[in-house]
Amino acid sequence: MAVSETEPPGRPAASSASGRPRRRMAPDDRRQALIKVALDLFNTRPYGDVSVDEIAEVAGVSRPLLYHYYGGKYGVFLAALGHAADELITVVVEASRNAPRDWLLAGLRAYLDYVERNPIGFGALVRHGAGPGEGEDQAILDGVRDKLLRLIVDALAVPEPPPALRTAIRGWIAQVEVSCRDWLPGAKPVKADLYLLDLFGGVLVTAARHDEQVRRALRSSQTGLEGSGVSLL
């Protein structure tokens, strides 16, 4: 039987298991409520300790409606992680595009600001082992890393980045991620953006020093390097 997304006119609001009446919400608002609740719960407790009934109860929706939207607990979990991932990439891309002369610093600051504003969403996204091990949750996190890598490579204007350069940039992205995870739940350190920017320069300098392909690629990309704040060759 299909699940109706709205209560029939004139019918009183359904009650949750606790006896509290469920809030009347538009479908999009229900989905957003489920995502927010899922981020809160999965970031503070192991995946196996959170039940479908609890998610539905806290979000103020029925259990059948949760299944209608997401197919179950894992579907809500993936939707919540995907929402956090999309938000993070969006703010970084927009900031970088709006500051072409300082694209790396602008994107880095947007990343750090997002983490500071959304510690639960970011924490859930990067928390390894939070899911049931089916792989899709890790794929979402890997997708964020891949998009950040492409953003940086494109901004550096390196048409065919050598493997060593891609590896170096991936390592820096991981360093940013680990640093932010370690800084949570407190505020990021003063000048964290400049610290991480300097690390990026150090990574590229080291890669160029030890790999001729990286050195040649970066020498042909002086315009992109200027926007990254790095001076190396």
Region 181-196: mean pLDDT is 86
The 10s digit of each residue's pLDDT in 88-132 is 999 999 999 999 889 999 999 999 999 988 888 888 888 744 555
Q: How far is CA 52 from the centre of its chain?
A: 23
SS (H, E, C) the chain: CCCCCCCCCCCCCCECCCCCECCCCCHHHHHHHHHHHHHHHHHHCCHHHCCHHHHHHHHCCCHHHHHHHHCCHHHHHHHHHHHHHHHHHHHHHHHHHCCHHHHHHHHHHHHHHHHHHCHHHHHHHHCCCCCCCCCHHHHHHHHHHHHHHHHHHHHHCCCCCCHHHHHHHHHHHHHHHHHHHHHCCCCCCCCHHHHHHHHHHHHHHHHHHHCHHHHHHHHCCHHHHHHHCCCCC
In this structure, is residue 167 part of a structural domain? yes
Contact between 119 and 185 under an 8 Å Cβ cutoff? The reply is yes
Structure-block tokens of residue 167:
């590896």
pLDDT at 133: 54
- Greater pLDDT, 67 or 131: 67
Residue 178: inside a domain: yes
The residues near 191 (Cβ < 8 Å, ≥ 6 apart) are none
Out of 128-137, 194-203, 214-223, 224-233, the most confident range is: 194-203
Decide if 59 is inside a domain: no
Q: Which domain holds residue 152?
A: 80-228
181: in domain: yes
**pLDDT for 3-12, tens place per residue?**
444 443 433 4
Mean pLDDT taken over the chain:
83
* pTM for this predicted structure: 0.80
Residue 37 CB coordination number (10 Å): 22
Tens-place pLDDT, residues 129-160: 455 555 788 889 999 999 999 999 999 888 78
Res. 23: pLDDT tops 70? no
Total domains in the fold of the chain: 1
Domain assignment present for 51:
no
Is position 46 within any domain? Answer: no
Q: Which two tokens stand for residue 188?
A: 């990021």
Which residues are bridge partners to 21 per DSSP? 15
In a domain, 55, yes or no: no
Amino acid letter, residue 71: G
Q: How far apart are CA 217 and CA 105, in angstroms?
A: 21
Q: What's the rounded Cα separation, in Å, for the pair 89 and 79?
A: 15
Classify 157 in phi/psi space as left (phi over 0), alpha (psi -120 to 50) or beta: left
Share of residues in the chain with pLDDT > 70 (%): 83
CATH of the domain at 222: 1.10.357.10
What is d(CA 233, CA 218) in angstroms, rounded to the nearest whole number?
Answer: 8
The answer to whether residue 211 is domain-embedded is: yes
Specify the pLDDT at position 6: 45
* Dist CA 30 CA 113 (whole Å): 27
